[in-house]
Amino acid sequence: MKTFHELGLEAEILNVLDEIKFVNPTPIQEQAIPFLLESNSNLIASAQTGTGKTAAFGLPIIQKIDSNINQIQALILSPTRELALQIAKDITVYSKYEKKLKTVTVYGGASIDTQIRELSRGAHIVVGTPGRVLDLIKRKRLIVGKLRFLVLDEADEMLNMGFKDELDAILAGTPDNKQNLLFSATMPPEMERIAKKYISDAHRISVAKQNIGASTVKHQYYIVQARDRYKAIKRLVDYNTDIYGIVFCRTRMETKEVADKLMADGYNADALHGDLSQAQRDYVMGRFRKKQIQLLVATDVAARGLDVDNLSHIINYNLPDDSEIYIHRSGRTGRAGKEGISISIMHLRENSKLRSIEKMVGKRFEKKEVPQGSEICERQLFHLINKMQNVDIEHERIAPFLPAIYKKLEHLSKEEIIQGFVSMEFNRFLDYYKNAQDLNVSGRPEKGKEPFQRNKGNLQRFYINLGTKDNVGVGDLLSLVSKNLRNREAKIGKVDLLKTFSFFEVDKKYTDKILSSFKGKEFNGREIFVQKAENNEPKRRNKRRSR
């Protein structure tokens, strides 16, 4: 295995790497650093999140920049403020002994006047988000005419977040002779178009397959009915008493709902999604980094660029449709040699997704049972006892109060004091999990087999005018039906998700409730239409209802 000392880096950078105990480069660093040090050619690199991309492009740029020339020589674009700040922080660390080198970060949601003042003082490297960078370029406050390096980091996510026009405008206004570096986990068609137009004759590096399925991450899954997902989350959090992690949801709506429920139920949680202002986002992330929040509920886009250490768990509230998204999620735990757990809450009809993800990760996931109420109570009890045993007793501070306390409790035996202490702290769990039902659904069916039997006579099949083209998943549809029913005990059967419409089954006694509850409702600005499906086919209308 190579070390950083074998890659051609100068002594000042190596001294920093030795100080921060960077010894062996990751695969992307081992390939990219020598190439960038020796060549001025463009580079397109495919690598997953958490594989050390910042050092892969940052170390060569630091070494090749002439800090005696007071002009912007490198522009690094990232999809989110958090990732931009993290990149700038890393570059500042790596350039510790490059005393003249200046790095400035620019992003939306913060004072543009402050950032203009920072740029006016001089900068060699600018790290920023596309929208703010383009704004500063148009104001002629960020001068890119002498750029030597342009880096697009997490380029695929910038496209997913709608920065296509900004990227086109920024790239079109930069010098033709600069070195373009594109780092992306995936290469969608639109990214290939940008690469073909602006990053010609590029050397390509692909190490994504070498960086997935980290040995430090355990992959587990739990099978429950879709309507029991939230109950399963609560049980897993109660069972894993010291959990510190991220719960990933598909949509903003689902993220808000799950976070609101957790907070209402007394859990130390909060949400991170695209509807938050930058100030709200900073507040939530500040509390999460300080571990004042135990669970962060987030969408994939909102969580991009978050760099939080020591996450114990990643929880997939739904399995993602794209296996690579799962890789991004699970890669946020099990870092720096520490163990982490990636949990997926799924139902039996997601079996094909599970197999696809397992194939990409290169591991077979472990099926686990959602803990029963008695198991959770026992776990919480001993967690409470352990906390009591390990508490720091400050004798001098409590000594003045002890005589009165001893007198107050002198009529109680040791056993009665212990029982009272446990009951006072523990009755909530005992009451909540009294007669708790088993949430587990048995089996991991083979491909093509029906996962469980249904009583067709008691289920009504419905047509709904939403499908995959509306960016709807099975979980979204189940959530939508459950929300409108407002009855957690109502039985929901099979869901058939098609391109432009779908079918779902609900207990017949809720037929009128389903038909009335969806009237006048919208999904992402589109009016919802639901009707009974007879013989698996609805009575199709001649033309779509206007929005």
pLDDT at 524: 78
pLDDT at 317: 94
Angle, in degrees to the nearest 10, between helices 373-390 and 414-432: 140
Q: How many CA atoms lie within 13 A of 218 on its CB side?
A: 11
pLDDT confidence bin for 181, thresholds 50/70/90: very high
**Within this chain, do residues 256 and 275 fall inside the same structural domain, yes or no?**
yes
Q: Taking 90 as the threshold, does the pLDDT of residue 62 lie above it?
A: yes
* Max Cα–Cα distance, the chain, nearest Å: 87
Q: Average pLDDT over the chain, rounded to whole?
A: 84
Q: Taking 90 as the threshold, does the pLDDT of residue 417 lie above it?
A: no
pLDDT at 451: 38
The predicted model gives 412-417 an average pLDDT of 86
**Within this chain, do residues 331 and 192 fall inside the same structural domain, yes or no?**
no
Choose one of 370, 397, 412: the last residue of a domain: 370
Domain that holds residue 503: 456-532
Place of tokens 């006048």: 520
**Within this chain, do residues 156 and 242 fall inside the same structural domain, yes or no?**
no
Residue 310 gets the label, from left (phi > 0), alpha (psi -120 to 50) or beta, of: left
The predicted model gives 53-76 an average pLDDT of 95
Digit-coded pLDDT (tens) for 515-524: 988 888 888 7
pLDDT at 142: 96
Task: Copy the structure tokens of residue 296.
Answer: 């962060």
pLDDT confidence bin for 361, thresholds 50/70/90: confident
Q: Which of 26-30, 74-78, 525-529 has the lowest mean pLDDT?
A: 525-529
Q: Taking 80 as the threshold, does the pLDDT of residue 393 lie above it?
A: yes
Q: Which residues pair with 346 in a beta bridge?
A: 223
Residue 84 is assigned to a structural domain of this protein: yes
Whole-angstrom CA distances from 501 to 353, 488, 495, 545 are 21, 24, 11, 14
The predicted model gives 451-473 an average pLDDT of 70
Q: Taking 90 as the threshold, does the pLDDT of residue 324 lie above it?
A: no
Residue 442 is assigned to a structural domain of this protein: no
Q: Taking 50 as the threshold, does the pLDDT of residue 544 lie above it?
A: no
Q: Taking 80 as the threshold, does the pLDDT of residue 539 lie above it?
A: no
Q: Taking 60 as the threshold, does the pLDDT of residue 455 lie above it?
A: no
The percentage of residues in the chain with a pLDDT greater than 70, rounded to a whole number, is: 90
**Within this chain, do residues 188 and 126 fall inside the same structural domain, yes or no?**
yes
The predicted model gives 342-370 an average pLDDT of 86
Residue 45 is assigned to a structural domain of this protein: yes
**Within this chain, do residues 359 and 461 fall inside the same structural domain, yes or no?**
no
**Within this chain, do residues 46 and 163 fall inside the same structural domain, yes or no?**
yes
Choose one of 172, 193, 211: the last residue of a domain: 211
Q: Which residues pair with 526 in a beta bridge?
A: 523
Residue 188 is assigned to a structural domain of this protein: yes
Domain count of the fold of the chain: 3
**Within this chain, do residues 105 and 133 fall inside the same structural domain, yes or no?**
yes
Choose one of 370, 386, 401: the last residue of a domain: 370
**Within this chain, do residues 221 and 151 fall inside the same structural domain, yes or no?**
no
Residues in the chain: 547
- 131: exposed, middle or buried (Cβ count in 10 Å: 0-12, 13-18, 19+): middle
Digit-coded pLDDT (tens) for 479-523: 788 778 776 556 777 778 777 788 888 888 889 888 988 888 888
The predicted model gives 13-20 an average pLDDT of 94
pLDDT at 270: 94
User: CA torsion 213→236→354→303, rounded to 10°?
Assistant: -60
Q: Are strands 526-527 and 522-523 parallel, antiparallel or unpaired?
A: antiparallel
In 68-226, which ranges are continuous DSSP H helix? Answer: 81-94, 112-120, 130-138, 155-160, 164-172, 189-198
Residue 154 is assigned to a structural domain of this protein: yes
Contact assessment for residue 72 and residue 57, using Cβ atoms and an 8 Å cutoff: no
Most confident option among 38-52, 90-104, 196-210, 326-340: 90-104
Place of tokens 């009583």: 455
Q: Taking 50 as the threshold, does the pLDDT of residue 447 lie above it?
A: no
pLDDT at 369: 92
The predicted model gives 20-25 an average pLDDT of 89
What string of DSSP letters covers 380-396?
Answer: HHHHHHHHHHHPPP-HH
pLDDT at 249: 92
Which residues have C-beta within 8 Å of that of residue 385, sequence separation ≥ 6?
none
Place of tokens 């079996």: 351
**Within this chain, do residues 194 and 263 fall inside the same structural domain, yes or no?**
no
pLDDT confidence bin for 427, thresholds 50/70/90: confident
Most confident option among 73-82, 116-125, 399-408, 456-465: 116-125
Report d(CA 345, CA 115) in Å as an integer.
43
Digit-coded pLDDT (tens) for 126-151: 999 999 999 999 999 999 999 999 99
Q: Taking 80 as the threshold, does the pLDDT of residue 452 lie above it?
A: no
DSSP-derived secondary structure letter, 124: S
pLDDT at 96: 93
**Within this chain, do residues 71 and 205 fall inside the same structural domain, yes or no?**
yes
pLDDT at 425: 67
pLDDT at 132: 95
pLDDT at 50: 64
Residue 421 is assigned to a structural domain of this protein: no
Contact assessment for residue 224 and residue 68, using Cβ atoms and an 8 Å cutoff: no
CATH number of the domain that 528 lies in? 3.30.70.330
pLDDT at 10: 95
pLDDT at 443: 55
pLDDT at 51: 73
**Within this chain, do residues 91 and 203 fall inside the same structural domain, yes or no?**
yes
The percentage of residues in the chain with a pLDDT greater than 90, rounded to a whole number, is: 39
Q: Taking 90 as the threshold, does the pLDDT of residue 326 lie above it?
A: no
Supply φ then ψ for residue 395, to 5 degrees.
-55, -45
Whole-angstrom CA distances from 157 to 150, 154, 183, 208 are 17, 5, 11, 16
**Within this chain, do residues 205 and 320 fall inside the same structural domain, yes or no?**
no
Most confident option among 26-35, 76-85, 187-196, 321-330: 26-35
Place of tokens 């809720």: 510
Considering Cα of 189, then 192, then 193, then 194, what sign does the dihedral take?
positive
pLDDT at 79: 86
Digit-coded pLDDT (tens) for 192-242: 888 888 888 899 998 754 444 567 899 999 999 888 999 999 999 999 989
Residue 79 is assigned to a structural domain of this protein: yes
3-state DSSP assignment of residue 260 = helix
CATH number of the domain that 242 lies in? 3.40.50.300
Q: Are strands 459-464 and 340-346 parallel, antiparallel or unpaired?
A: unpaired
Residue 102 is assigned to a structural domain of this protein: yes
pLDDT at 388: 79
pLDDT at 134: 96
Place of tokens 């212990």: 418
Report d(CA 32, CA 340) in Å as an integer.
28
pLDDT at 543: 39
Place of tokens 């919480």: 380
Report d(CA 283, CA 296) in Å as an integer.
12
pLDDT at 546: 36
Q: Are strands 103-106 and 43-46 parallel, antiparallel or unpaired?
A: unpaired
